[in-house]
Amino acid sequence: MQASVRRLRGRHVPARLLLSLIAVLLLLPIAVTLLYAFFSPEEIRAYMGTRNRYTADSFMALRLIPETVSLMQFYRVLITDREILRYFINSVLYTAGILAGQLLALPALAYGLSCFRFRGRDALAFGIVLLMVLPFQVTMVPSVLTLRALNLLNTPWAIVLPMLSAPFFAFLLRQYMLGIPAEIIEAAQIDSAGPLKCFLRIVIPMSRPVLGTMAALSFAESWNLVEQPLTYLTSRSDLYPLSVAFGQLTRNMSGIEFAGAALFILPSLFVYLFFQEDIMEGIRVADLR
Amino acid sequence: MKRIALKGLLVLGGIVLLCVFFSGTLHTLSTAKVRTVSARTGRLETRVRLTGALHWPETEAVIPENMTGDDTLIVRRVNVSAGAWVLAGDCLAECEVADYDSRMAALKESFAGKEKEALELQWKNSGVRLTPQQEEWYAGYSRLRDAALAEQEALQTLRLRAWQAGVALEEDDSVPETLPDTEAAGLLVEARDVLEAARRETAEASRAFDSLSRYPIPEDVVNYLSKKSELEKELASLSARMADLQLLKERAAAVTAPHDGYVTAAETKAGDTVSRGGAVVWMTAEGAEPAVRLDASGARRTIPAGTAVTLSVGGKTADAAITGQGIAADGSLYADVRLRRGDIGLLGGAAAMTESGSVTAEIVLTAENATTLIPVSALRGAEGDYFIYVTRRENDSFRNEKITVVRKSVTVLGQSASAASLEESLRNEEIVYMEDRPLSEGCEVMPYSSGS
């Protein structure tokens, strides 16, 4: 493999250039966000004030070097303008709740649908696939009615509870667990291991790659919630996560948006780095199967 | 990579938690604290502080009566100081007549000489006997001679008064009918009346003498009688001068106050000499009231009579009112405050006021119209570009109130030490008048806590 990699280094230059260009374009917004987080708030306000003055003949100038490197944006985000911090805490709480709930419920659901045979199993699995296909807008109204009946509208549970039923992750886990050899489970059962013991001692350890994948993807989805808070928290703007409140805060152009965006990006970045190997392992194992 | 990511997450979480925990404290420390006040409507009161001194409008010199140009007093003791209140008859000073003994001796010697001369004359003319008619003739002659002398003196005085009044007399030394309304013209009129009286006396004496001209007496007798009359007059004059000198000595021994009043100046001291035209001490004229004369040059506006003023001397205060304003000889503006005896007592007495040398007055000048008033500490900027900071309150999504300051230009109509009068109406505005650090437009502020 190393030899093939060495051979690749000398070839496919155009392809590599094209891929590099695409990578730069994809990474440019993130890089600019992190870079502008070290501009002073006054400089950002002045610079962003010019964003509507460009024409079709001239582009808006892209500033890459600040006049003075300043941590004032971070200071205001973390200390003085505590609104962003409070919305950040909201996002953390929602994500943690959703992640914990999904990690408790979905592996067990997938285990039941994969390792047990009962009447209606396949129909249930098909129903999960069907739910996976439906967009949020279709299930929004029934969800609102249900939550209102349960008196959970405008509460944090309105965000967390509907997200616990993630059909895609359930499907993903089920498909992975279907690939676990039945002989391993039978061997455990011969050793007088019950279903729960098999689940905890065999299925969960063997499903670590896909569980890591699920956690990373679930984190990304929960961290970036927009529609659900706007739908279920209409009269409680103080319960919004940062993904929703950020749009409102940037309207005032207070000059601290980029530091807030950097703060928003960092948790996703760290989570991805943490689960990167599991994600790649999960994809690889799925490919081999 | 997992370790790096885990450490990064932990560090980020730690920073966020610390910021959540300490952000309130740091926010409080980094936010400017202000005090605000609402504008009120009123009339601007300007407190003007003036200084002045005790002023004696009318004074008179205290000196023994009947002093002549030759008399000089030597002060032995002064019993009063400036500012003292004295009653009529109080001994103000003790003096003695300079060269009293030598002068009295000279007068006595002159008197003795004249007396001896008169006795000798009488002895030489002891045989002269006058008939009643001759005595009558001589009396008429003496009367005519004295009337003529008096008429001459009155004429000289008339001419002097005319010159002093700037009036030209007629050829016959008569006074014109139209005269200026001056004091000198009044004296001229008096001199004219005296001259007319003297002329009438002369005419009468002349008529009387004419009727006696049939009783002539020899010339040597006339000379004797004239000489005798002259010596008698000189003896009378010397006697009067000795009496005056004696009287002056007694009066100088105790110089008393002619009436109740204040001693305005007592600058003489033991050993000083005082002559006619000078004064042992100065005191207020009878019925005159002292006043405090304030230097009103710094007031920059007229101070009407009746304006209340608070006077203070050495910590003592008294309330009075402005009684007048004027311009001094050097062109500076002054304001007078007449003092009653009670006011002087409240201020510690005229002596204390004179010793202090300075009287402080505080006057409250009130504007005519009501305007918007704010504390002067709320006013910022320079003349022509004044502005204030007003607060704006906003609520964020978490119902936290955020207070920011907004700059607002104003027009200043007037200013005192404590308040400023503005043209704008600032109703419902909270104006920042005190802060613990410099402010800028849009910066967040928080109200001072009561500390409880």
Q: Which residue of A has its CA nearest to B29?
A: A80
Assess whether B51 and B40 both reside in one domain. Answer: no
Residue A287: is its pLDDT beyond 80? no
Mean pLDDT of B241-256: 89
Same domain, yes or no: B307 and B218: no
Residue A279 has pLDDT above 70, yes or no: yes
Please check whether residues A35 and A51 belong to one and the same domain: yes
Predicted ipTM of the assembly: 0.78
Write down the pLDDT at residue A22: 94
The shortest CB-CB distance from B8 to any of A80, A85, A270 is to A270
Q: Does A80 touch chain B (CB under 8 A)?
A: yes
Number of domains comprising chain A = 2
Report the pLDDT value the prediction gives residue B397, as an integer from 0 to 100. Answer: 65
Same domain assignment for residues B280 and B405: no
Tell me the pLDDT of chain B averaged across its residues: 86
Distance (Å) from the alpha carbon of B9 to chain A's nearest alpha carbon: 6
A249 vs B97, more confident: B97
Q: In terms of pLDDT, which residue wins out, A109 or B331?
A: A109
Closest chain B residue by Cα to residue A79: B23
A273 to B31: CB separation less than 8 angstroms, yes or no: no
pLDDT band at B383 (very low <50, low <70, confident <90, very high): confident
CATH of the domain at B426: 2.40.420.20
Structurally, chain B folds into a number of domains equal to 4
Which residues from chain A sit within 8 angstroms of residue B15, using beta carbons?
A: 78
B347 lies in some domain: yes
Domain that holds residue A218: 82-288
H or E segment at B308? strand B308-313
pTM above threshold 0.80 = no
Query: Do B16 and A85 make contact, defined as CB atoms within 8 angstroms?
Result: yes
Residues 127-186 of A with CB under 8 A from B: none
pLDDT band at A289 (very low <50, low <70, confident <90, very high): very low
pLDDT one-digit tens code per residue, A13-40? 888 999 999 999 998 888 888 888 888 8
Given a cut of 90, whether residue B201 has pLDDT beyond it is yes
Q: What is the CATH number of the domain that holds B107?
A: 1.10.287
Q: What is the pLDDT of residue A92?
A: 92
Task: Tally A–B CB contacts below 8 A.
Answer: 66
Q: Which of the residues A81, A270, A271, A278 would you substitute to probe the B interface, choosing the one with the greatest number of B C-beta atoms within 10 Å?
A: A270
Q: What is the per-residue pLDDT for B33?
A: 93
- Contact at CB, B12 and A276, closer than 8 angstroms: no
Q: What integer pLDDT is reported at residue A59 of this predicted model? A: 66
Distance from CA of A218 to the nearest CA of B (A): 17
pLDDT mean over B156-174: 88
B9–A271: do the CB atoms touch at under 8 Å? yes
Q: Are residues A118 and A164 in the same domain?
A: yes
Q: Which domain holds residue B196?
A: 100-250
Tens digits of residue pLDDT in B92-115: 999 999 889 999 999 999 999 999
| Mean pLDDT across B75-103 | 90
Q: pLDDT tens for residues A102-122?
A: 999 999 999 999 888 889 888
Q: Does residue B340 fall inside a structural domain?
A: yes
Are A57 and A93 found together in one domain?
A: no
B109 shares a domain with B166:
yes
Which of A74, A94, A128 is the last residue in one of the domains?
Answer: A74
At B450 the pLDDT is: 62
Residue B452 confidence class, pLDDT cut points 50, 70, 90: very low
Domain shared by A55 and A186, yes or no: no
Q: Both B324 and B295 in a single domain?
A: yes
Q: Do B2 and A274 touch (CB under 8 A)?
A: yes
Q: Which of A60-74, B56-70, B256-270 has maximum average pLDDT? A: B256-270
